[in-house]
Amino acid sequence: MVAGTEKTTDAPWVAEMRRIRDDRDRAAFAALFGHFAPRVKAFLVKSGAEPSVAEDCAQDVMVTVWRKAHLFDPSRASVATWVFTIARNRRIDLLRRDRRPEPEDLTWGPSHEPDQSEVVEMNQETERLGAAIASLPEKQRVLIEKAFYGDLSHREIADITGLPLGTIKSRIRLALDRLRHAMR
């Protein structure tokens, strides 16, 4: 590859990503999907996934691209690198899931409905957890909410907040310790 050509060939995809990020532009996403989804599927099949699993995973990857477009940074990676990194991570998740052992005794049929005391207990625990989260120092509470309610990784939180990754990890660890003690 000639030096600088990646930036040139990536420029249209960067523009599409910006339109997705800034305007939630469906046409831009359709173009990105049309180009990358078949390539992601082929990548997954070559890495050992069944074609039907690769198809589902490729669609999931593209949904992630749509949902997390705000995290794309063209100064850090090309669009293709970013998309295929998501695909690689999703493939690793699938492999981990497939390696989990199945429980020996699966119960079939409808599960029992919780009785009223179980419902009350779950509601009380939910309220206690909400109060414990609300009582966290703001710097910790905000990060816990981003990590668990926003479903963001520590790296994504660091990118969004501009805080060092170590600070993010420390604050979340301290917050989880406080929550553990509060829920005892």
Check: CB of residue 140 under 8 Å from CB of residue 172: yes
* The residue count for the chain: 184
Which of 45-49, 94-98, 131-135, 161-165 comes out lowest in average pLDDT?
94-98
Nearest to 140 by CA among 116, 121, 157: 157
From-to residues of CATH 1.10.10.10 in the chain? 134-182
Identify the CATH number of the domain defined by range 5-99.
Answer: 1.10.1740.10
Check: CB of residue 97 under 8 Å from CB of residue 60: no
Burial degree of 166 (CB within 10 A; 0-12, 13-18, 19+) = exposed
From-to residues of CATH 1.10.1740.10 in the chain? 5-99
pLDDT in tens, 139-168: 998 888 888 777 788 888 888 889 999 999
Average pLDDT over residues 37-55: 88
The model's confidence at residue 2, banded by pLDDT at 50, 70 and 90, is very low
Predicted local confidence at residue 167, as pLDDT:
93
Predicted local confidence at residue 60, as pLDDT:
92
Pick the CATH number of 134-182 from 1.20.1630.10, 1.20.1250.20, 1.10.10.10, 1.10.10.60: 1.10.10.10
